[in-house]
């Protein structure tokens, strides 16, 4: 594990040096050890061990001011940068202690995981209910981090959870607005269709009204079988013969006169 971290540090360090030559700035790599403070010892305990504080020492690897990994943790008593390791019996004599949660949750690692989670959430499709559940779970995790004694690290899941919840709220609001607009449009179409159907029904299914509007027009009703029949009132009217006057076919009398100088008859001009 240590060899792998050293290799990563070398790669990042070389990349940072190259970037600095181009004017972009260098990457700061953190290695070494540090101590989490657990509690101050009583004067009697401090006099017995020669140190005034109980802590948890660990090796670390980080970039800039963020720790990406921690390992080789142990309980120690310390003052400043000087410490002494404790075995289980010595720790029990000092009242015992538990491994700090921060040791298992490096802030840099949490930031990396948060970035990965944010990319996955923003670039994939899912149901709004799922996003709401994820956001609520992250808020709960943030509260648990705070109760476990994490410093500012609890803000990381809190930010992610708030981002998901606020984004889901606006997404739900936008979806409801679209549904309301679609419902209004559908209601307008339905009302128009109902009005048109009512008007058409009033024209075609009420022959008495049509007959009153135009008494001279014959109205046709439809039998249950679909065959058109004459209205009962029209069919009950008495029939009368139609008299047609034809012009006479006899030829008209044309006056004639004779001319002695001509052998045959001609029309008078």
What per-residue confidence (pLDDT) applies to 2? Answer: 43
pLDDT at 262 over 90: no
What per-residue confidence (pLDDT) applies to 229? Answer: 47
% of the chain surpassing 70 pLDDT: 65
Cα of 161 vs its chain's centroid, Å: 17
Cα of 25 vs its chain's centroid, Å: 40
* Mean pLDDT along residues 225-248: 57
Q: Given 3-state DSSP classes, what are the helix, strand and coil percentages for the chain, each rounded to the nearest 5?
A: 50, 20, 30
Let me know: does 75 contact 54? Beta carbons within 8 Å: yes
Whole-number Å distance between alpha carbons of 186 and 184: 5
What per-residue confidence (pLDDT) applies to 234? Answer: 52
Q: What is the pLDDT of residues 109-128, one digit of tens each?
A: 999 999 999 888 888 887 88
% of the chain surpassing 90 pLDDT: 37
Whole-number Å distance between alpha carbons of 18 and 145: 38
Cα of 255 vs its chain's centroid, Å: 106
Let me know: does 53 contact 40? Beta carbons within 8 Å: yes
Whole-number Å distance between alpha carbons of 61 and 48: 34
Let me know: does 232 contact 244? Beta carbons within 8 Å: no
Domain ranges of the chain: 1-99, 105-202
pLDDT at 148 over 50: yes
What per-residue confidence (pLDDT) applies to 164? Answer: 87
* Mean pLDDT along residues 177-185: 86
pLDDT level of residue 203 (50, 70, 90 thresholds): low
Q: What is the pLDDT of residues 6-35, one digit of tens each?
A: 333 433 443 333 333 334 456 788 899 999
Strands 220-222 and 53-63: unpaired
What per-residue confidence (pLDDT) applies to 246? Answer: 67
Whole-number Å distance between alpha carbons of 209 and 231: 13
Tally the residues of the chain: 269
């Amino acid at each position: 594990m240590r060899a792998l971290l050293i290799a990563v540090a070398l790669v990042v360090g070389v990349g940072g040096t190259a970037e600095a030559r181009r004017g972009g700035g260098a990457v700061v790599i953190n290695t070494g050890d540090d101590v989490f403070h657990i509690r101050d010892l009583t004067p009697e305990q401090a006099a017995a061990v020669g140190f005034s504080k109980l802590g948890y020492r660990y090796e670390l690897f980080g970039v800039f001011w963020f720790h990406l990994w921690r390992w080789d943790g142990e309980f120690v008593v310390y003052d400043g940068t000087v410490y002494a390791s404790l075995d289980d019996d010595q720790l029990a004599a000092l009242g015992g202690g538990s491994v700090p949660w921060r040791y298992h949750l490096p802030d840099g690692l949490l930031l990396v995981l948060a970035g990965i989670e944010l990319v996955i959430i923003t670039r994939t499709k899912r149901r709004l209910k799922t996003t709401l559940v994820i956001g609520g779970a992250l808020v709960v995790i943030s509260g648990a981090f705070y109760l476990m004694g994490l410093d500012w690290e609890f803000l990381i899941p809190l930010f992610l959870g708030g981002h998901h919840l606020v984004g889901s709220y606006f997404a739900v609001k936008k979806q409801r607005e679209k549904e309301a607009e679609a419902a209004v449009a559908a209601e307008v179409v339905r009302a128009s269709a109902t009005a048109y159907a009512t008007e058409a029904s009033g024209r075609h299914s009420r022959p008495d009204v049509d007959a009153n509007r135009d008494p001279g027009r014959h109205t046709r009703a439809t039998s249950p079988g679909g065959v058109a029949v004459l209205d009962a009132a029209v069919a009950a009217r008495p029939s009368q013969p139609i008299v047609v006057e034809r012009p006479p076919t006899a030829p008209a009398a044309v006056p004639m006169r004779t001319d002695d100088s001509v052998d045959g008859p001609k029309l008078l001009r």
